[in-house]
Amino acid sequence: MVVGAAAIELHVHGSQSLKQKRGVIRSIVQRVRNQFNVAVAEIGGQGTWQRADLAIVTTGSSERVVREILERALVFVEDLHLAEVLGSDVELLEMCYEAAADGEADEPDETHDDEDGEPGRDPAED
């Protein structure tokens, strides 16, 4: 499993209040979520009128696909022209998922213990 994260630093020109900036950032976040089905959150600059840092996160089974989605999302944000992109970075983390690597899934326990730890009846048999 591959987890990918992109950080993007934005400058919202012409914003004169936190309310104005939040409106622009909310629009960017919602559009990116809808277009790419990724998680997006403001991770920095919450107290400033014109600066914001966003994180975009997704997962997948292929590094190539995850990187492509994140890079397309970054280009999409820039092409919106709602805020100036000051910088961006993409990082990937490959995680080993043990059950997937072994080709086995966890099998449910056949026995059911009651409250005192003694084997009991399977409630599905009722």
> How does pLDDT run across 23-78, given as a tens digit for each residue?
999 999 999 999 999 999 999 999 999 999 999 999 999 999 999 999 999 999 99
Spell out the domain ranges in the chain.
2-94
DSSP 38-105: -EEEEEE-TT-SSEEEEEEEEEES-HHHHHHHHHHHHHHHHHHTSSEEEEEEEEEEE---HHHHHT--
- pLDDT at position 100, please? 54
Residue of 113 and 40 predicted with greater confidence: 40
Give me the percent of the chain exceeding a pLDDT of 90: 75
Fold that domain 2-94 belongs to in CATH: Alpha-Beta Plaits (3.30.70)
